[in-house]
Structure 1
Amino acid sequence: MTANAPTVPGFTGDAIYPGDRLYDKVRQVFNGMIDKRPQVVLQCRSADDIVAAVRYAVDSGAEIAVRSGGHSVAGHSTTDGGIVIDLSLMREVRVDTEARVAYVDAGANWGDVDRVTSVHGLATPGGVVSTTGVGGFGLGGGIGWLSRAHGMTCDNLIGATLVTASGEVMTVSETENADVLWGLRGGGGNFGVVAQFTLRLHPIDGVVAGVQSYPDTDAEAALKHFRAQMDNAPDHLASILDFSSDFTTGQSLVNVLACSTRTDQVGSDEVSALLNVRGVADKPVVAVQHKLDYSTWQQALDYTAPYGWLNYWKSLFVTELTDEAIRRIALLGRSRPSAQTRLHLIRLGGYASRVPPESTAVVTRQHPYIIHLMTTWTDPAETARCTAWAGQAFEILRPLGPAGAYLNFVGDEGQDRIRATFGEDGYRRLAELKARLDPTNRFTRNHNIEPATS
């Protein structure tokens, strides 16, 4: 701690101020475009530390940011001149095998969770990049490889320990403060700081997974094959169509990724049928398919999202993958502005689409696809060109879907988009919950829900 630094009453974690040896390291977040300097980073080690940090931060009047994995592309995990409540040291994961639940501390990432749960042949839907924090991802909804089979992360959130803006520790479950649990299931970090998550687990005895890559000149054929294969696909089959560049050769590729929670011949055959694109002019550049541990497959895309790259993301749901939609997606996939930029077309549906909309704050479940424009680059001189491409690409795609968004995939895009995401009834209910738990809106570093007024 810096000499003469303020004391945080009751706080036993590490308070890191400008000038401290670790300051520049701990203030960094995933997105290299975000370069902010908080007045202090409070690294918590327990729920009591979170309580002390919240009370101190709320009383200070300074802007508050809460960090779990730091992956918020919008930069919500940090603040200029404010206070960061950093949960990244709290990473314990405990499994109750009989109840099939995991108790996950707020700073854990999906790699931490998967390592512990997979030992027991269990898993819960998490992000496709294992370094992503459970906290922000789960509170924002949570789409991953298991979502078609077992729902979004928020659908599997069955309890939490929440520290509210008043410093109260609230136990939340399906029977206790159930309305708060509803808000945590997709309403983001608006309602306080979650110290621990309770997540439902499912038996996962490995997966059959693979990828086949083709030159992007075959993009239209790959997209049409993808559409045909996934239109009536069973819940156990999950898929992403992805545009990328081979970092070694520079070749631009269209990739089909598939994952089945069935490890028998049925699962293997259906993965093969999805990966083997019909009607292409070229042989696959890459063709890989294996039965493997789920936690291993969860790390397959980690290399695409290292800390420090510059990121500017856009996203939208797609209501129908028409031939015109395919034409636009293929055009944009081939015009990506950097080798690091990827365009993901993720097939939704399955179990997640059948969860009753009123059971979570995530009301948009009917759309079959989501596009994720992961505009990423490494040279700051390319920032204007890459962000301009993302904006233009979004405008080209905008007619394909509704006004709402999957908020984990977007930056700060204003209240209109947040309201469209939750719908008027959902937003009103969230605003009433916000008014009860954070009436003065001290937690604003999020896709913010403004407190309802009388």
Structure 2
Amino acid sequence: MNIDKSKLESFVNSIQGKVLSDNTSEEFQQSLKKRWNADVHHLPYIIVYTKNVQDISKSIDFARENNLPFGVKGGGHGCKSIADKGLFVDLSLMRNVRVDQDKKLAYAQGGCLLGDLDRECAKYGLGVVSGHVSHTGLPGLVLGGGIGHLSRSFGTTADNLIEAELVTYDGKIHKVNETTDKDLLWALRGAGTNFGVVSEFVFNLYPVTDVILGVFVHPPHSIREALTKLGEFVERPEVPNAFSCAISMTPEGFTILGIFNGTEADAEPFLNEVASFGTPVVSQIQKMPYVALQSMIDDKVPSQLKYYQNGPFLKSTLTPDVVNVLLNAYDNHPTKSCAILITHLGGKFQDFDKSHSCFIHRDAKFQVILMSIIPDDSLKPAIKKWTGDNSDLLKKFTLGDYGNTAEHTQSLSSIYGENLDKLIEIKRKHDPTNFFFNNLNIKPY
């Protein structure tokens, strides 16, 4: 590392958090392992645990002035946030959440996990759309869009972002909202990692306490009929935004969750009908705290395994042809370590005007995640081929890909579509040197 020792010492002394610069130390090595996906590897020169926005600003300045590649970790679920031979910012000391109950707003720091936000909001009977796994990092989720169990009720997480405290490539701190910079806020809602580091998010909240949850577990001979009927059911105009479903195909079996954001009386006819599809071996309907739903599958996707995934959007419902591709993919996985996860969209998800955010796939009916655990590095080529082959088979049914679950071989146009040109213009204005490149990168040139 060719950095003047006095400059490094001055930088270290200016940081209120903690700086690790000995990459041979146990603490440094353990810090690199604190990620969800153990398939991500890099070796930075410096790791900075920032305590506040000033630490972030100083870290960006130091990296820029010393020509160091820069990366940032929010919750550690991202695959592209690395800084080989560079400076790596870890936001995990910044996890404070504050709720303004009267204004129904949440203020969440950039190191928060989804569970931090969900649990604090639940104290006030409020909630926001925030993914499916509570140990996911908030910044990566929201800056890439953010799809969750309540997307049909309230849109994406990014749709509900009303302000961000952002540090740009020049180390300057900005309050970004509809008044100060409408275009930059638009870009943060879906492509945000390209424009800076967010130290604090401000979200609109909604009254959310309990949901009515239907759990329907199917044997192999029943799931095809159940999914096909479910695909027909969700197309009916009387199905409200309050209803959504989440489907998982894993080595443990096939499960359909019917989720209703409302009263038991209103939920009953819809969940009872879903219960009638196929011949489920488990059929349970219960009231559940929303915050419990949010952490329901945490242990199914633990940290420190090796993962590979891709996540396209379906333009149609679960037709027999789509179901056939998905079930064949499940049956033909090379290691039987896959999870095919399907999230129901529509409703409020599609109601936001396309000028509201750079997120483009508003007409999607479902999102599909093809996820694999890599049990051994020698099997990774076969898993990548399975992912690519089945993504190709789905292409005639899809609108494009989701940045938060893309495996980064997709074109940017498949993720941002017609908004890509405008995003390039905003990138050119706010990050002209492409300082923030360790991401799903939009180049300014």
TM-score by length of 2: 0.93
SS in 2 for 1:185: helix
Q: Which residue is 1:249 aligned to?
A: none
One-letter amino acid matched to 1:292: M
CA separation in 2, counterparts of 1:210 and 1:37? 45
Report how many residues are paired. Answer: 433
Give CA deviations for 1:244-280 in whole Å, capped at 9, x if unaligned: 112xxxxxx2210121111331124423322x142x3
SS in 1 for 2:186: helix
The residue correspondences of 1:7-406 to structure 2 (distance < 5 A) are 7=9, 8=11, 10-17=14-21, 18-28=23-33, 29-72=35-78, 75-232=79-236, 233-246=239-252, 253-274=253-274, 276-278=275-277, 280=278, 283-321=279-317, 322-402=319-399, 404-406=400-402
| CA apart distance, 1:339 | 4.6
Range with bigger deviation, 300-309 or 318-327: 318-327
Asked whether 1:419 is paired with 2:413, we answer yes
| CA apart distance, 1:383 | 2.2
Considering only aligned residues, what root-mean-square deviation do their CA atoms show, in Å? 1.7
CA separation in 2, counterparts of 1:235 and 1:396? 30
Change (3 A) 1:286 1:60: farther
Range with bigger deviation, 53-62 or 104-113: 53-62
The 8 Å contact of residues 72 and 82 in structure 2, kept in 1 or not, is answered as: yes
SS in 2 for 1:383: helix
Give CA deviations for 1:389-441 in whole Å, capped at 9, x if unaligned: 21222122222113x31110112115xx21232223x1111111111111100
Give CA deviations for 1:85-122 in whole Å, capped at 9, x if unaligned: 11111000000000000000000011000110001000
SS in 2 for 1:131: coil
SS in 1 for 2:131: coil
CA separation in 2, counterparts of 1:326 and 1:54? 47
CA separation in 2, counterparts of 1:142 and 1:91? 18
> Which structure 1 residue ranges, 5 or more long, are not aligned?
247-252
Give CA deviations for 1:98-153 in whole Å, capped at 9, x if unaligned: 00000000000110001100010000000100100110100100000111001100
The 8 Å contact of residues 188 and 446 in structure 1, kept in 2 or not, is answered as: no
SS in 2 for 1:24: helix
CA separation in 2, counterparts of 1:390 and 1:55? 39
The 8 Å contact of residues 66 and 76 in structure 1, kept in 2 or not, is answered as: no
One-letter amino acid matched to 2:415: T
Asked whether 1:432 is paired with 2:425, we answer yes
Range with bigger deviation, 158-167 or 359-368: 359-368
TM-score by length of 1: 0.92
The 8 Å contact of residues 165 and 201 in structure 2, kept in 1 or not, is answered as: yes
SS in 2 for 1:271: helix
CA separation in 2, counterparts of 1:370 and 1:337? 23
The 8 Å contact of residues 309 and 369 in structure 2, kept in 1 or not, is answered as: yes
SS in 2 for 1:186: helix
CA separation in 1, counterparts of 2:64 and 2:214? 48
SS in 2 for 1:15: strand
SS in 1 for 2:393: helix
CA separation in 2, counterparts of 1:39 and 1:277? 58
> Which structure 2 residue ranges, 5 or more long, are not aligned?
none
SS in 1 for 2:311: strand
SS in 1 for 2:308: strand
| CA apart distance, 1:345 | 2.0
SS in 1 for 2:26: coil
SS in 2 for 1:357: coil
Give the share of equivalent positions with the same residue, in percent: 29
The 8 Å contact of residues 214 and 255 in structure 1, kept in 2 or not, is answered as: yes
SS in 1 for 2:65: helix
CA separation in 2, counterparts of 1:398 and 1:171? 39
| CA apart distance, 1:77 | 2.4
CA separation in 1, counterparts of 2:102 and 2:28? 43
